[in-house]
Structure 1
Amino acid sequence: MLVRRGSRNAGLAACAALLFATTACGSDEGKQSAASPVRLYGTDGNMQNSFVKEFDGQTKLLDGMKGTIPLTPLSEDFKDRVTSQDPGLTDFLYSAEVYDAIAVSALAAQLAGSTAPAEIAKQINGVTTGGERCDSIKACLPIARTGTDIEYRGVSLNRGGFTEAGEPSTASYATMHFGEQAKLEDGKTEFVGAGDESAASTQAPPAPKKQVGGKTDRRDGSPLKIGGLLPQTGDLSLAYPPMAAGAKLAMREINDAGGVLGEPAIWVDGDDGTNPDVAKATVAEHVAAGVHVIIGAGASGVSRAVLPDVVAAGLVLFSPSNTDAGLTTIDDQGRYFRTAPSDILQGRALADVIMRDGPQKIAIVARKDSYGEGLQGNVRAELERAGIAADRLKLLTYDPPAKPDSPPVDFSSGAQEIKQFGADAVLVIGFGESAQVIKALDSAGVQIRH
């Protein structure tokens, strides 16, 4: 469980321990010098080995940076299976969530006895709650074919099922650390749980349908077509390789297990570009191609932009990586689901990680979109709840590049503000472009603690 109640006392104790080395812990006396070393923190958008590529010859800036990502402890078996799809993988972030989103979609179609998106949507929550428990695609699909309700427990969905809003009731977060070689140190990774299994939906889905023999009946709309809407390009493209590998693995294992409704399921590739315009064009292509379920988008703001188009087309949008808490209550007409947990949970985990180091003045820098500003607000609320006064917090945002060929983020003025504020902790919430924030801090003379 998350450590929260004692966090403020722990922070004050840490500050007291540094009394003679830095400054006092009082009010005016506790203001830190602009030259005090700053600890860097990150989130799921940048706490990845692939983030290092954004720094060229300045990778030393990442040494010592730490943060949280939604991540379940992955078995060596799953890592081996997903790596078999891409031997060059350096990260596994969201590979399990993509895998489970596709698995749940396929199982929902099998139980519905139809590829009609509306019928699939009615089954999705129920796939994860109640019924006969099974823990793999290979085990679950044969049970579903008999018309028996199931409770899927896969890779990321291994505790609680979905809530009525179509998202995980529980989550696991990993605290990650960049080491001296600007590489995440697996040996320092810690896992914390969040959420409540009792929040899972208790609403029964429609009665599942039994597949008659192994023969294809095209009146059910088969074959099932699943479209990708993942960040092949754009600011979130650093997260694409593990997502793509998770998708390939799920599709392979579905078809190795006999497919859906007597037919091999079909994957239709597609890019969201980390950009609403690119994503909307891809959605239109999927509609024209007869796709039933769309897996994506990568970024929460992109999903917000395309969801009206998906709903209007009568399809299902199922994201493996959207964490914006506001998406829980968005008007989706029952067509939006996600295997990633809400940022309300990540906000608590991040605040806990930061408070362990006993910071006195904290700057939170976020990309200006629903993901960045939403998580920024959640972390701020948790820090204030832990005892950090409002005047000890500074919130800044930046506009992410609108297009791939747009000029890079210019955070020089924001870096100067942080220097003058005298922050001793800086949380950077962003994707690949957030490297410009860290570089700007260095250029402004902010001393980064390694």
Structure 2
Amino acid sequence: MLMRRGSRNAALAACASFLFTVAVTGCGSDDPGNAVAPPAVRLYGTDGNMGNSFGAEFTDQAGLLAGMKGTTPLTPLSEDFKTRLRSVAPKLGDVVYAAETYDAVVISALAAQLAGEVTPARIAEQINGVTTAGTQCDTVGDCLRLARSGADIEYRGVSLKRGGFTDAGEPSTATFATLHFDTNNQINDGKTEFVGAGNEADTTRKRPPAAERQRPNNRSEQPLTIGGLLPKTGDLAILYPPLAAGAALAIKEINSEGGVLGRKVQWVDGDDGTRPDVAKATVREHVAAGVHVIIGPGASGIARAVLPDVVAAGVVLFSPCNTDAGLSTVEDKGLYFRTAPSDLLQARALADVILRDGSQRVAIVARKDSYGDGLQSSVRTELERTGIAADQLKLLSYEPPAGPATPLDFSAGAAELKNFRPDAVVLIGFGESAQVIKALAAAGVTLRH
């Protein structure tokens, strides 16, 4: 859904470059009174920082985020689903990735039911097939009843609406939302826009092993056990409430429909800490506890860190919010899946938003990890493809803070951006992106509200 402007963009870029040169030289005068004021900067975010919890980082700077917009994978959610979410999390604010988490848990349960056992390898063999070429169903109860009869099913739940999974175990299509912050530093739901991306033709055509038809009183020797590897703490903790709510609702509804293979599904909580060491320790605990499927982690970089341990243990890893495009081809022995779409799709949606606003001189600031590096590169590619010249783009990266007690110092980067004089700054990061914005404001960069 990317808007392309071709030669018109090139002409505008050339014009902007000329005006910028005039502004810097002051038409040959050293008189600061002749200098052109720098442009007001539009702020853009991505799925790691576009949420109400992020806005809470600015309690002492009311309205600083007003006008900031960004993209996130988000399907239009029904009021019924939101009400059900709040039945397990009454104080829930954001709903970003709640649907993807719900679907990851439900798909895992349906795959186990179709496999007729809770062995992780057998569950993995069924996961892609749960989403393709069968009788369509969109509720836990209907899908479980079909699966118990051994029928092929095509799950179309909350986030998975059009195409099923690809060969790589991820959605072939997705819906992205453009979110807007208001003067209270909160998301204005009334301005949210949705756009589709992806291609249904990329849905896998491979057939899973034949499903097991449930016999009367068929009961697994042990319950399906699912472990959480979600960011309760760390830089991505702002996303934890909706992730946790989505998982809790799925477990509740699966068990209210009789569970899987005659037993209630068990949930074992766990934190990924948005840190490799914390996540690896949690994975070890889950493996020791006999967990069959792990839901998470939150960050793509954490997935890369723990995936070798998960694969070695022969456990399924199923993330609701990993978006690093490189994870589509990572070596996983068929055990890694995600309900979140690749950042190749998000980059196209975000570039479209930036171009529709008329921005021509763009800085892209990203955390230095697989998520930040990958999405930064993809956004740059999409902007260049539409005619924005390479010298009108500036890429900056920063090392993520070592922990919550280590604040990010972006003062030097803010000064560099001020000298670049962008009309748009894209922030690809998690909670620490708040420090980037505060540093820009402290450096005297005028933010466009």
Matched, 1:47 2:50: yes
Q: Deviations over 1:389-417 (max 9, x none)?
A: 00000000111111232x21111010011
Within the candidate set 198, 202, 205, 1:199 is matched to 202
Q: Given the two structures, how large is their TM-score scaled by the length of structure 2?
A: 0.95
Matched, 1:58 2:61: yes
Matched, 1:443 2:442: yes
Q: CA deviation at 1:158?
A: 0.9
Q: CA deviation at 1:210?
A: 1.0
Cα contact 1:7–1:356 (8 A) shared by 2 = no
Written as runs of structure 1 = structure 2, the 5 A alignment for 1:197-346 is 197-218=200-221, 222-346=222-346
Q: CA deviation at 1:12?
A: 6.7
Written as runs of structure 1 = structure 2, the 5 A alignment for 1:366-385 is 366-385=366-385
Cα contact 1:168–1:338 (8 A) shared by 2 = yes
Sort the Cα spacing of 1:12 and 1:264 in 2 relative to 1 into closer, same or farther, 3 A: farther
Question: Take 1:27 and 1:399, find their aligned partners in 2: how far apart are those partners?
Answer: 31
Written as runs of structure 1 = structure 2, the 5 A alignment for 1:152-171 is 152-171=155-174
Question: Take 1:428 and 1:340, find their aligned partners in 2: how far apart are those partners?
Answer: 20
Instruction: Count matched residues.
Output: 436
Sort the Cα spacing of 1:217 and 1:61 in 2 relative to 1 into closer, same or farther, 3 A: closer
Matched, 1:433 2:436: no
Q: Deviations over 1:134-187 (max 9, x none)?
A: 111111001100111111000000110000000000000000000112111111
Amino acid at match of 1:443: A
Q: Deviations over 1:7-63 (max 9, x none)?
A: 7747977x9xxxxxxxx9353224565632100000011110110121230132101
Q: CA deviation at 1:197?
A: 0.4
Sort the Cα spacing of 1:34 and 1:251 in 2 relative to 1 into closer, same or farther, 3 A: farther
Sort the Cα spacing of 1:183 and 1:8 in 2 relative to 1 into closer, same or farther, 3 A: farther
Question: Take 2:18 and 2:146, find their aligned partners in 1: how far apart are those partners?
Answer: 66
Sort the Cα spacing of 1:95 and 1:446 in 2 relative to 1 into closer, same or farther, 3 A: same
Question: Take 1:7 and 1:84, find their aligned partners in 2: how far apart are those partners?
Answer: 49
Amino acid at match of 2:190: G
Sort the Cα spacing of 1:288 and 1:9 in 2 relative to 1 into closer, same or farther, 3 A: same
Question: Take 1:90 and 1:110, find their aligned partners in 2: how far apart are those partners?
Answer: 33
Q: Tell me what 1:409 maps to.
A: 408
Q: Tell me what 1:188 maps to.
A: 191
Amino acid at match of 1:412: S
Matched, 1:27 2:17: yes
Amino acid at match of 1:92: V
Q: Tell me what 1:124 maps to.
A: 127
Sort the Cα spacing of 1:120 and 1:26 in 2 relative to 1 into closer, same or farther, 3 A: closer
Q: Tell me what 1:72 maps to.
A: 75
Q: Given the two structures, how large is their TM-score scaled by the length of structure 1?
A: 0.94
Cα contact 1:299–1:322 (8 A) shared by 2 = yes
Question: Take 1:338 and 1:217, find their aligned partners in 2: how far apart are those partners?
Answer: 26
Question: Take 1:281 and 1:265, find their aligned partners in 2: how far apart are those partners?
Answer: 23
2:142 is paired with a residue whose SS is: helix
Cα contact 2:2–2:351 (8 A) shared by 1 = no
Q: Tell me what 2:419 maps to.
A: 420
Q: CA deviation at 1:307?
A: 0.3
Question: Take 1:185 and 1:7, find their aligned partners in 2: how far apart are those partners?
Answer: 32
Cα contact 2:223–2:263 (8 A) shared by 1 = yes
1:25 is paired with a residue whose SS is: helix
Q: Tell me what 1:114 maps to.
A: 117
Amino acid at match of 1:29: L
2:432 is paired with a residue whose SS is: helix
Q: Deviations over 1:245-265 (max 9, x none)?
A: 000100000000110000000
Question: Take 1:27 and 1:335, find their aligned partners in 2: how far apart are those partners?
Answer: 49
The percent identity for this pair of structures is 66
Cα contact 2:10–2:388 (8 A) shared by 1 = no
Cα contact 1:63–1:180 (8 A) shared by 2 = yes
Sort the Cα spacing of 1:74 and 1:12 in 2 relative to 1 into closer, same or farther, 3 A: farther
Q: Which runs of 5+ in 1 are unaligned?
A: 16-23
Question: Take 2:99 and 2:355, find their aligned partners in 1: how far apart are those partners?
Answer: 29
2:197 is paired with a residue whose SS is: strand
Matched, 1:133 2:136: yes
Cα contact 1:115–1:224 (8 A) shared by 2 = yes
Cα contact 2:96–2:239 (8 A) shared by 1 = yes
Question: Take 1:141 and 1:274, find their aligned partners in 2: how far apart are those partners?
Answer: 34
Q: Tell me what 2:179 maps to.
A: 176
Q: CA deviation at 1:217?
A: 4.0
Question: Take 2:148 and 2:159, find their aligned partners in 1: how far apart are those partners?
Answer: 23
Cα contact 1:11–1:355 (8 A) shared by 2 = no
Q: Which runs of 5+ in 2 are unaligned?
A: 24-35
Q: Deviations over 1:287-337 (max 9, x none)?
A: 011000000000000010000000000000000000000000000010000
Cα contact 1:34–1:446 (8 A) shared by 2 = no
Question: Take 2:326 and 2:166, find their aligned partners in 1: how far apart are those partners?
Answer: 15
Q: CA deviation at 1:6?
A: 3.4
Q: Deviations over 1:268-302 (max 9, x none)?
A: 00000000000000000000110000000000000
Cα contact 1:169–1:200 (8 A) shared by 2 = yes
Sort the Cα spacing of 1:215 and 1:360 in 2 relative to 1 into closer, same or farther, 3 A: closer
Question: Take 2:37 and 2:415, find their aligned partners in 1: how far apart are those partners?
Answer: 10
2:425 is paired with a residue whose SS is: strand
Sort the Cα spacing of 1:8 and 1:280 in 2 relative to 1 into closer, same or farther, 3 A: farther
Sort the Cα spacing of 1:74 and 1:194 in 2 relative to 1 into closer, same or farther, 3 A: same
Question: Take 1:43 and 1:11, find their aligned partners in 2: how far apart are those partners?
Answer: 26
Question: Take 1:78 and 1:160, find their aligned partners in 2: how far apart are those partners?
Answer: 21
